[in-house]
């Protein structure tokens, strides 16, 4: 059975230069409108749906994203598997700037976000198993795609999800390191758990765009981050194209 694949992109992946946009669809959900139009894209021979997590022009900060509307819209569009692209900070030794990771675990430090479809409003409450937040099958497909594309990557990683939009303090990064986190970002939750609630396979490709606060002698600047994104996201897109084309 052919699966419908979607990509949800954030920092550095709001658009796809060189891709053919086949159509765009506005989808309304009971949770409101998603961050952007849902595009059907053809890129390097792969066809998939794409949703810009932060909206067109990167206008929505991480804490204000309507995650429920985004996931509900993808489910309504018939999506079976969702690959999230995340720009993250590096914490542990192997996750230096420029490294691409396919994380396997999550620690959630966010607060105040609408984070579940099972909020009791419809009289239905469920408790999902979230022991392993990422689909192992989809992770394996991404890993195989990276090998096929001859792109180096780390096939693990604990993703710490912080509230944002500010970056973390050096003390916070030290705490995250003690908690066993390898990378830090702001958007994996509640995106991952919402996907699990509606039965969408979910995995991530994360690009390390800066060292965590206090782990280098330099101040973290958006200019430095953008330099890494310009190179790294081309590799991420190649992994995605190889993965989706192989479905």
* pLDDT tens-place string over residues 26-54: 999 999 999 999 999 999 889 999 999 99
Would you say 203 and 144 are in contact if contact means Cβ atoms under 8 Å apart? no
Extract the runs of DSSP E, i.e. beta strands, from the chain: 5-9, 20-25, 38-43, 46-52, 81-90, 100-101, 105-108, 158-161, 183-185, 201-211
Predicted pLDDT at 225? 83
Tokens of 62: 């991480």
pLDDT digits (tens, 9 = 90+) for 55-89: 988 899 999 999 999 999 999 999 999 999 999 99
Binding-site entries for substrate: 186
Predicted pLDDT at 223? 82
Binding-site entries: 11, 53-54, 186-187
β partners of residue 39: 24, 50
pLDDT (mean) for 117-134: 89
Choose the weakest-confidence range: 4-13, 57-66, 150-159, 161-170. Answer: 4-13
Number of domains in the chain: 1
Would you say 8 and 71 are in contact if contact means Cβ atoms under 8 Å apart? no
Would you say 112 and 90 are in contact if contact means Cβ atoms under 8 Å apart? no
CA contacts within 13 A on the Cβ side of 126: 14
β partners of residue 211: 90
Domain residues for the domain of 107 are: 5-245
Predicted TM-score (pTM) of the model is 0.94
> Which among 44, 72, 56 has a CA at the least distance from the CA of 149?
44
Binding-site entries for phosphate: 11, 53-54, 187
Confidence of residue 175 (pLDDT cuts 50, 70, 90): very high
pLDDT (mean) for 202-218: 93
Confidence of residue 151 (pLDDT cuts 50, 70, 90): very high
DSSP 179-200: TT-SEEESSSTTHHHHHHHTT-
For CA atoms 82, 136, 31, 161, the dihedral sign is negative
Predicted pLDDT at 19? 86
Return the CATH number at 175. 3.40.50.1580
Round to whole Å and give the CA distance between 47 and 25. Answer: 15
Given a cut of 60, is residue 1 above it in pLDDT? no
Choose the weakest-confidence range: 15-19, 131-135, 210-214. Answer: 15-19
């Amino acid at each position: 059975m052919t699966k419908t694949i979607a990509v949800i992109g954030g920092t550095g992946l709001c658009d796809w230069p060189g891709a053919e946009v086949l159509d765009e669809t506005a989808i309304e959900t009971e949770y409101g409108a998603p961050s952007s139009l849902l595009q059907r894209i053809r890129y390097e021979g792969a066809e998939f749906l794409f949703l810009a997590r932060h909206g067109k022009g990167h206008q929505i900060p991480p804490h204000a994203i309507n995650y429920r509307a985004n996931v509900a819209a993808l489910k309504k569009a018939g999506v079976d598997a969702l690959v999230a692209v995340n720009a993250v900070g590096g914490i542990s030794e192997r996750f230096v700037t420029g490294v691409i990771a396919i994380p396997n675990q999550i620690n959630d430090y966010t607060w105040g976000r609408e984070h579940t479809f099972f909020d009791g409003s419809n009289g239905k409450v469920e408790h999902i198993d979230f022991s392993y937040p990422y689909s192992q099958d989809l992770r394996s497909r991404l890993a195989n795609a990276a090998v096929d594309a001859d792109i180096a990557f780390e096939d693990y990683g604990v993703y710490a999800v912080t509230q944002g939009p500010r970056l973390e303090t050096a003390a916070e990064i030290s705490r995250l390191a003690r908690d066993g986190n390898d990378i830090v970002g702001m958007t994996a939750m509640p995106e991952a758990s919402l996907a699990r609630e509606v039965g969408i396979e979910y995995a991530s490709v994360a690009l390390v765009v800066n060292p965590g606060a206090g782990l280098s002698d330099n101040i973290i600047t958006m200019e430095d981050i953008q330099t890494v994104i310009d190179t790294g996201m081309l590799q991420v897109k190649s992994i995605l194209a190889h993965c989706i084309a192989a479905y």
